[in-house]
Structure 1
């Protein structure tokens, strides 16, 4: 055989061999594409990484539904972190092809309802494809995020329809999704404390500054229908039109233990000892009025989300204390923030003075509102030594910041 013919023969063999290699690789990609089209795709994993990207170990691919569009979600598994990126189906297939190469991933496993298909790159740069029996029998959920186990389920509930949160079939309106998440987050935060309330007689709950009643209705629903508690919930609201609206919704929802009354927080007088007192976004000293009533009526649980902190700020501006932090208070925004922290810090201390174990944490994301602090007090016990310690701390702090008094301190006559 001449050199020319020999060269042609080897070129033919090489081309044929490469075509076989490509046929295996192409077969795998074709099966991946077919599984996505037939909707029997479960997941894909890429492994045996030989590339240069530091820390990268695997890529896991699954289908997700984002804004009603099917997409491929890639999780890049690094040694110390995970990174998730989403692609359209076509973009995702191109991305997979880019990662399956000699200087990247040398192994891939496609999991479908029909089979597990593995594809590996051998030592001689040849791809091998193997098909095995499926290890999963059904496709995974296309939910983009794992659905949370909500304390409240929307469903076909009359109050949610009347408040324009859901339609008549119980589906949450698109423009009400944030409000629904906020309501559930609120119940989630309080759920453990609500479950520990005294198990005896009828619970007495007051929600001061109830507004349109979103959270008041949700709280009643959770206590009555989830925790199965006998209870009376009163929503206090200054605006008479909202009181009428909420009473009408309560009646339509057959929430017999829920009612709303017109009045201010300062003027409202509970008719019995309280188990729970709530005041969300009561302005300035109205929060103090609510806390004082909760303490005075022996509430087992006090929950407030303060709004505005004018009283202490005015005291600070009047006192003009000279201390190591006075340079900060020359700027209005810093003064406002310091007044907020001091106001709520004093509230927590005063509640502790009267035997409440307090927690202060974020209520809702500050992307929605900067007024997002929740102060929670659970009734415990306190001794005289601890009260003296708290009183000294309050006096020292007031002197340091030039604060003559705190409204809650006066209401409760802290001595």
Structure 2
């Protein structure tokens, strides 16, 4: 019976009707064995046909790839109950061969082996790709199978929807950003049109992707505005938006500091404010715009934390000379890279405390880096009624003042906007 089963496996591999094999009901010769099952399928690795074995244990899976010849030897070993085989750790008492023509069941190997065939339960062969393709939030093609216009125009994909090699990191970054935001956006009320303002939109990579995701994936009513001070980028992005039929996406020329968010008309209130990689205090300007607009969600990815770094450096210097004063933090200034990192953490922590003071729950998450910004942190602030409590506001303000005092900070730029 076993020989007949082996022959059918070899025949299915030769005729390309093979789908997979399941070995189960393991009887072990070793007391501590945790092996429960083996799943076997074909894969193509470096253009060579392999048999991939997934050894399913009680608490984990182990995957190994064999040549077809090696794989057949491994199958025979695990269907052999004699202890004379030195490689035999035990045997499986049941096996099923799945082909696109029939399923073949081998049972009771231990006592009275039986074999029987039945109609195929699966006619579609499994994917032979070794690498599983991750399903991205932003797909490169639309529902008709055409490459998305804005991804082509932004040089992310070619006309077939294939991502350019040099744009892989940007494409991954866009998708991770959307995945992080999608959880937050799904919690917002959707009865009315969702107003989004993207401060410092640049070339609009993430502005376009977010609009596409909200309108076409989540089916939200959305109106999005990208604010950018470079006129050439504003004109380019508006052209791409028009060519992509994104009717409620537009870009306007302006700086973050000077841009006015409409508040008079409640229907046009900004619900979500975004600012990615706004340099130094421009991030604070963007945060303050979100607070002014009473936005439900503020998301920023800060960079270039220069203002607080200068404050820290000055705090470590004596008023009488350039000699650095003695205190617990003075060693930080001996190593520029450590001072830079400390300044980043301090700047963003103080931003979070000020957002708490203004009624926002905050968290910081890391998202995928790219060639230009190797460290990317998103500060996410969500409007919460519980954070409007006067006692909690006082606590957060005290924590903020304590940090200022400890690090010798005179003024945080965001503080000067909020507490003016």
The whole-number CA distance in structure 1 between the counterparts of 2:171 and 2:3 is: 47
Partner residue in 2 for 1:153 = 139
The one-character-per-residue Cα deviations of 1:149-185 (angstroms, maximum 9, x if unpaired) are: 6444332222122223334344445554443333232
Partner residue in 2 for 1:340 = 344
* 8 Å CA contact 1:60, 1:76 repeated in 2: yes
The whole-number CA distance in structure 2 between the counterparts of 1:78 and 1:139 is: 27
Given candidates 331, 347, 372, the residue that maps to 2:376 is: 372
Gaps of 5+ in 2: 264-268, 317-324
3-state SS of paired residue (1:235): strand
Shift of 1:270: 2.6
The whole-number CA distance in structure 1 between the counterparts of 2:373 and 2:107 is: 51
Shift of 1:194: 1.7
Partner residue in 1 for 2:232 = 241
The one-character-per-residue Cα deviations of 1:294-336 (angstroms, maximum 9, x if unpaired) are: 1112212111112222222222222238665665664333332
Alignment of 1:212-223 (within 5 A): 212-223=203-214
* 8 Å CA contact 1:49, 1:56 repeated in 2: no
The whole-number CA distance in structure 1 between the counterparts of 2:183 and 2:364 is: 15
Q: Aligned in 2, Cα 1:183/1:198: closer, same or farther, shift over 3 Å?
A: same
Gaps of 5+ in 1: 1-23
Q: Aligned in 2, Cα 1:118/1:323: closer, same or farther, shift over 3 Å?
A: farther
Partner residue in 2 for 1:50 = 28
**Alignment pair present for 1:281 and 2:274:** no
TM-score under structure 1 normalisation? Answer: 0.81
Q: Aligned in 2, Cα 1:229/1:56: closer, same or farther, shift over 3 Å?
A: closer
Partner residue in 1 for 2:124 = 139
**Alignment pair present for 1:269 and 2:256:** no
The whole-number CA distance in structure 1 between the counterparts of 2:413 and 2:105 is: 71
* 8 Å CA contact 2:170, 2:370 repeated in 1: no
**Alignment pair present for 1:31 and 2:8:** yes
Q: Aligned in 2, Cα 1:386/1:73: closer, same or farther, shift over 3 Å?
A: same
**Alignment pair present for 1:115 and 2:106:** no
Of 71-80 and 253-262, more deviation after overlay is shown by 71-80
The whole-number CA distance in structure 1 between the counterparts of 2:119 and 2:311 is: 72
The whole-number CA distance in structure 2 between the counterparts of 1:92 and 1:265 is: 62
Of 298-307 and 175-184, more deviation after overlay is shown by 175-184
Partner residue in 2 for 1:168 = 159
Shift of 1:92: 3.7
* 8 Å CA contact 2:2, 2:79 repeated in 1: no
The whole-number CA distance in structure 2 between the counterparts of 1:253 and 1:68 is: 39
Q: Aligned in 2, Cα 1:252/1:330: closer, same or farther, shift over 3 Å?
A: same
Shift of 1:374: 1.2
3-state SS of paired residue (2:277): strand
The whole-number CA distance in structure 1 between the counterparts of 2:47 and 2:150 is: 28
Partner residue in 2 for 1:10 = none
Shift of 1:118: 2.4
Alignment of 1:189-204 (within 5 A): 189-204=180-195
The one-character-per-residue Cα deviations of 1:194-222 (angstroms, maximum 9, x if unpaired) are: 23334354332111222221211111112
* 8 Å CA contact 1:40, 1:139 repeated in 2: no
Q: Aligned in 2, Cα 1:26/1:268: closer, same or farther, shift over 3 Å?
A: same
Q: Aligned in 2, Cα 1:280/1:213: closer, same or farther, shift over 3 Å?
A: same
The whole-number CA distance in structure 1 between the counterparts of 2:198 and 2:72 is: 54
Partner residue in 1 for 2:38 = 59
**Alignment pair present for 1:305 and 2:290:** no
The whole-number CA distance in structure 1 between the counterparts of 2:89 and 2:220 is: 60
Q: Aligned in 2, Cα 1:291/1:44: closer, same or farther, shift over 3 Å?
A: same
Q: Aligned in 2, Cα 1:91/1:306: closer, same or farther, shift over 3 Å?
A: farther
